[in-house]
Structure 1
C-alpha cells in the first residue's frame, strides 16, 4: 500500500507541474533547416527595411520604406544599396541579406543617402547619394563589410539627384542624374580624381540656380541631355494611377538613371512616370556613345509589373550575377501610410538575339530560381510553384477594429482624405499588399490559421509583416521577428514544420523555402516576438502544388485598341471556371512577348501603356493552384 500511495503521490505532482514547450531544435525540423541555403527567392526582397522618420502625408506614423535600389557584385558578393537605410546589405547568394550599419548623413534631419549610386573601379567600391547641395562626399572602401569608408572627394560639385555612375572600357567615367517632372536626365564625363566635370571650368553659381536644361548647359557646356519623356507618344510614360492624368499636375516624372553596355551599345535606362503608381516602370534608350545620342527602344518599358501582389518595377538598376545572368531591380509600391511607402523587387533580365533589352516579370511575385549557372532568362526563372493561399478562409486569434485613417492618396488628386481601413482576417489572403490583418496586440501567442480547402503540397511560405501601430523609427539593435508554423490535415493534430523561435534577424517579408515539401490542408502561424507595434501581416502566402487540374485555355480573348487614342486598349476574355487569375503577355513581335500583366478573377483590363505608332501582339493564359493553362493564339493589335 505504501508503494502504491507513493506512486500516486508522484503522479499527482507530475500532473500538477505546468508543461512548458521549449524548442530544442535550433530551428531545424524534418521539413525546414535554416542552415540549408534556399534555391529560390520571392519578391519583395526580404531585407530589414528601415523605419523612415519623414512622412510625406504629414502624419506622424511609423512605417518601413526603401526604394531606388542598386545591386552590384564586388569580390564575389552582392551588395544592395537603397534609399534611407542607414547602411547597406550584402549577400553571397542574393537570398540571405546581411545588414552593415553605415550612416552617411552630414545632418540628422537630412536623408541618409537617398537614391544612391554605387560602382566599382579596379579594387575599390565607390558610393554617393543624391544631393542638391555642394557638401556631399563621394565615398570609397576596399572592405565594405567592415563599415569603414573614406572620402574620395569631400564635395561632389554637381547637383546630382538620383545619380548613376558608369565606367567605360577605356577607363572614362560618366555620371548621369536627374529627377523631375519638367527636366530630362542629363549626363557628363567626370574627372575620376576631382569628381568635377571634364572640360572648361564651370560657372557653378549659375549651375546651382539652373532650373532648365538650357540653363544648365549654359553654365556648363559639357553636360548633355540624354533622355526625356514623350508621354503623348508613349502611353506608359503618362502620369497617374493608370496612366490617366493628362495633363500631369506635377509633370510626368523621369528619374532613376542607369547605364549598361552590351555588345558595344549603350543602354540608357530610366524610371517613369511616378513611384507611387502601379505602372512605375523602367524604360531604355540605346546609343553608340555613353553620352548619346540615344534612340528609344521599340520594346518599352523594358521592366513593367502593373498587377499582382507586388506592383511596380521602376527606378532600379541592371546587373550581371556571378554566372553572367542579368537581373533588373526596381521599386514597388505600398503607398498606404505614405505615398512613398515602398519596397524593392528584382526580376530576371537580359538581351535577346537582336540585342533587345528585356526584363521578365511574369509570376514575378511567386518563387523565382536563384542562379547557379549561366542560363537563358528570356522565359524568366520561375520555380513553377503556384500560389495556394489566394482567397482561402482564415481564422485568427483576434483582430483590430476598423479605423478612419487620414491619407493623401494620389488618386484623390493629392488632397487629404479619410478612408475607413479594416484589419480583418480576409486581408491575409487577398493578394493585395495594401491591405492587412492586425491582431489586437503584439503579444506572444497571437495566431493566424489558413485553410487551403484540401490537402496540397507546400514548398514555401512568405510572411509579409505590416508594421501596424509601430513605434520604431530608424534602425535599432533589437528589431527581429520570431514565430512558429504548424501544419495539419484536420486542424486538430498539428506538426511543427517551421521553427523560428530563436530567429534574431529583421525579416519583414520573410520567405521560407522548405527543405522538404509537406502535404497539409491547414497552416497555423503563432507569434512569439514582433519587431514593433501589433502583430500584423499583409499577406500570408503559401506556394507549392495544388494536386488537382490546371485550368483550360482561355476563350473569347480580344484586344480592342482605341481608334481615338492608340495608346489605349480594352482587353477582354471569358472567365475560366477553374482559374484564380490570368497573365496577359504582350510585345512588339510574336517572339518578343516579354511584358506581362497579372489580373486576379476579372475578365477585362483597361490597358493604357502602348506606344502610338507600334504594332503589338498579345496572348493570355489562366492559372490556379495546380498550374498554368496553354496560352491562347497570339493576336495582333494594330
Structure 2
C-alpha cells in the first residue's frame, strides 16, 4: 500500500498560496496561451511529396538590446518582440544559403550571433541591428570540429578521437569571463559534445578536442524512452525507433551550469527537456534527480522538448519547447513557452500545469510561476458544435475535442462560413483561441495571400448575435490565433465567422473558449494511491472520480512540497494513469487535483511513491 505523507503543512501551504493568488492583483494585464501565436511558416520539407502545412520547432529566444528574438527550424527568417506577446517576422538580408534547422543564437551584448545546424563547416552570421534584418558574416566558414567524420562515411563505430559530422543542433554559450563554448549533436546513438571556442580576428578557433557532455540512459530514466507515453515505436519496416538525444542549451544560474537537452524524440506527446548540472561549462555534469524539468504529455498542447531557457526583462525565467501535431507529417509541430524557476537549492522546474490555458504575461518579477495561471478554465470541452457547411467526415464536433489531429473542414473556403459552439449555459467568457489545421493546403513558402482574418460573435439565445472580437492590425497568418477579450462577457453561444485563410481549405482543429462557469470548484480527489511497478520507471496512479470534474492533473515530484510535474487527464478518460517517466532509485511524492469550468480543487492527500 502507498504511504500517505504527513500532508497537513504542504497541502495547507498550497491551499494558502492558491487563496493568496486569488486575492492578489493579477501579475499582468495581458495574457497568452500556447501554442505561441505567431505566423508559423509553410514548410518546404515535403515539397516533393506535395504535403503542405505550417510548422515550427526547436525555438531559441535570445534577449538582445532590450528586445526578444525568436529563431526556429525552417522559418527563413526570425521574429522580434518587445513584450513576448506581439511578434513581428523579420526577413533577413542574407540567410545561410539554405533554410536552417535547429539554429543556435547568442548575444554578446553588442551583436547577435547566429549559427545553423550543419554536417560540414558553414558560415556564422552576426548582426548589430537584428531589428533591421541586416546580417553580416562573423566568419565565412566555421573551422572543422576536431575529429569530425565527413558526412556520408560509415561512422559506426567511431574510433577514439572521432565525432559524428557536425555541428548539428548547435548551442552557443558565453561565460561570464567572455569564454565561448559550443555544444551539439542530435542522435539516437551518440552523446552531446562540448568544446571551448576562442574568438579570433576572422571568426573562431577551437580550443582542445570535443568532450562528451552527457548521454541518454533510458534503462534508468523512464522519460528518456521513445514513443507515445514512452511505450516505444517502430519504423514502417518494423525496426524499433531509437531514443533521440538533441537540443543542447546552456545556462549559468547561481554559479551552477545547467546543460539542457531534449529527449526522447519530437514525434510524440512525451518530448521533454532535462538537465545535467555542473560547476564548469565542460563538466563534469551530474544528472538532475528531478528530471525531466519540462514535461507536458497531456492536454491540447503535447510535448515540451528541444528549446531554450532565458530570462525576461523583469528577471523571470522561461523555457521554450516543441509540441507535436503530426497530422500531415511526422514533424508537423508548433512552439510553446512555459514559466520556469530555479529554487535556492538549485532545483530547476518548468510549470506546464494548465500549460495550454491562458496565463498572464508578467509586468514585473514573479517569484512563483504558478501565480501566472489566470484561473480561466476551458469552457468548450466536448460541447456541441455546428457549422454552415462540412466537407466529408470532417465534422464540426471535432473542434471541441482538444485534439489538434482532428478538425472541421468547411465545404468551401468562402468568407461568411460559420462555426458555432454551444457552451450549454451562460458563462463568463474571457478569451478564445482559434486553432487552424492544414488539410491539403497547397501552399509552400510565403505570399501576400497567406493571412488570417475572422470575427467572433456571441449570443445568449443562439438567434440574436453581437460582436465579440475580431482579428485586426497588420495582416498576418495566425494558425493559433489567441484573442483576449477587453472585458469579460456573459454569453452561451460563440460563433466563428470566416474572413480569409490562404490555404485551399478552411480547416479548424479546435475552437477553445476560456473563462468561468457559475458554481463551485470540484472537491479534492479522494482515495489517491500509487503503486510502483517491478520496473521502477513505471507507476500506476489511481483516484476516486470527483462529481462534476472536467479533468484531473496528476502531479508528482521528488519532494512533497515540490510537485513540479503534471499530467493532465480528462475525466472521460478514467481515473487511472500509468506514469512511465520515473527515474530508477528515486523516491517520489504524488497527488491529484480536479478541475472543472469553475475552477480547481484543493490538492488531494500527498502520497509517497517509494
Q: TM-score, normalised by structure 1?
A: 0.85
Whether the aligned pair in 1 keeps the contact of 2:526 and 2:605 (CA below 8 Å) is no
Query: Separation in 2 of the partners of 1:589 and 1:63?
Result: 42
Secondary structure of 1:399's match? coil
User: Which one of the candidate residues 514, 519, 536 is aligned to 1:566?
Assistant: 536
Indicate the residue corresponding to 2:54 in structure 1: 64
The answer as to 2:162 corresponding to 1:175 is no
Do the aligned partners of 1:622 and 1:629 also contact (CA within 8 Å) in 2? yes
- Kept in 2, the 8 Å contact 1:582–1:598? The answer is yes
Kept in 2: contact 1:581–1:598 (CA 8 A): yes
Q: Partner of 2:247 in structure 1?
A: 256
Check conservation: 1:117, 1:162, Cα contact below 8 A: yes
CA contact (8 A) 2:458 2:493 kept: yes
Match of 2:290 among 292, 299, 306: 299
1:74 alignment counterpart: 64
User: 1:98–1:104: structure 2 CA closer, same or farther, 3 Å change rule?
Assistant: same
Quickly say closer, same or farther: Cα 1:74–1:105, change in 2 above 3 A: closer
**Equivalent-residue separation in structure 2 for 1:517 and 1:479 (angstroms):** 31
Maintained 8 Å contact 2:430/2:514: yes
Q: Does 1:51 align with 2:37?
A: no
2:168 counterpart residue number: 161
Structure 2 match to 1:267: 258
Give 1:19's aligned residue: none
Q: Secondary structure at the match of 2:131?
A: helix
Partner of 1:627: 599
* Paired residues of 1:482 and 1:502 also in contact (CA < 8 A): no
CA contact (8 A) 2:93 2:134 kept: no
Is residue 97 from structure 1 mapped to residue 87 from structure 2 by the alignment? yes
What's the counterpart of residue 205 of structure 1?
Answer: none
Match status 1:331 vs 2:322:
yes
Partner SS state of residue 261, structure 1 = strand
Residue 450 (structure 1) aligns with = 421
Aligned to 1:39: 30
* In 1: Cα distance, 2:257 partner to 2:203 partner: 22
2:206 is the alignment partner of 1:198: yes
> Is the partner of 1:456 in helix, strand or coil?
strand
Q: Which residue of 1 aligns with 2:11?
A: none
Match of 1:16 in 2: none
- SS of residue paired to 1:242: helix
Q: How far apart, CA to CA, are the structure 1 residues paired with 2:293 and 2:509?
A: 29
Matched, 1:548 2:534: no
Aligned-pair CA distance for 1:538: 0.7
Residue 577 of structure 1: which of 547, 570, 574 is its match? 547
Q: Does 1:145 align with 2:115?
A: no
The SS at the match of 1:145 is helix
**Distance in 2 (alpha carbons) for counterparts of 1:320 and 1:373:** 12
CA offsets, 1:204-238, max 9 Å, x none? xxxxxxxxxxxxxxxxx521000111000000001
Local SS of the residue matching 2:188: coil
Larger Rg: 1
Q: Deviations over 1:565-620 (max 9, x none)?
A: 01011112222220111001100011211111101122111211000100010000
1:595 aligns with 2:556: no
Partners of 2:260 and 2:380 in 1: CA distance: 36
**Residue in 1 that maps onto 2:24:** none
Change (3 A) 1:475 1:91: same
Q: After superposition, where does 1:507-522 map in structure 2 within 5 Å?
A: 507-522=478-493
Q: Deviations over 1:396-431 (max 9, x none)?
A: 0111113xxxxxxxxxxxxxxxxxxxx111110001
Counterpart check, 1:133 vs 2:120: yes
Pair 1:225-2:233 in alignment = no
* Residues 487 and 497, structure 1, Cα contact 8 Å, conserved in 2: yes
On the 8 A contact 2:96/2:123 being kept in 1, the answer is no
Following superposition, the deviation at residue 106 of structure 1 comes to 5.2
RMSD: 1.7
User: What is the TM-score when the length of structure 2 is the normalising length?
Assistant: 0.89
1:306 and 1:251 map into 2 onto residues whose CA distance is 19
What is the rounded CA distance, in whole Å, between the counterparts of 2:602 and 2:327 in structure 1? 36
* SS of equivalent to 2:510: strand
1-side partners of 2:259 and 2:449: how far apart? 41
Taking structure 1 as reference, are residues 67 and 623 closer, same or farther at Cα in structure 2, changes over 3 Å only? same
Classify 1:288/1:501 alpha carbon distance in 2 versus 1 (closer, same or farther; 3 Å).
closer
Which of 140-149 and 176-185 deviates more?
A: 140-149
Cα deviation for residue 467 of structure 1 reads 2.0
Cα deviation, residue 553, structure 1: 1.4
Q: Separation in 1 of the partners of 2:556 and 2:472?
A: 45
Q: C-alpha displacement at 1:153, in angstroms?
A: 0.2
Match for residue 320 of structure 1 among 311, 319, 330: 311
Change (3 A) 1:251 1:629: same
Shift of 1:122: 2.6
| Conservation of the 8 A alpha-carbon contact between 1:483 and 1:501 | no
CA contact (8 A) 1:443 1:530 kept: no
Return closer, same or farther for 1:460/1:238 CA change in 2, 3 Å cut-off.
Answer: same
Report the Cα distance in structure 1 between the residues aligned to 2:544 and 2:328, rounded to whole angstroms.
36
- Give the corresponding residue for 2:225: 238
User: Number of residues paired by the alignment?
Assistant: 555
Asked whether the equivalents of residues 232 and 241 of structure 2 are also in contact (C-alpha less than 8 Å), the reply is no
Asked if 2 retains the 8 angstrom alpha-carbon contact of 1:501 and 1:528, the reply is: no
Aligned to 1:479: 450
Which blocks of at least 5 consecutive residues in structure 1 are unaligned? Answer: 1-36, 200-220, 403-422
1:59 deviates by: 3.8
Tell me the equivalent position of 1:557: 528
Structure 1 residue 244: deviation in Å?
1.8
1:279 maps onto 2:270 in alignment: yes
CA contact (8 A) 2:94 2:134 kept: no
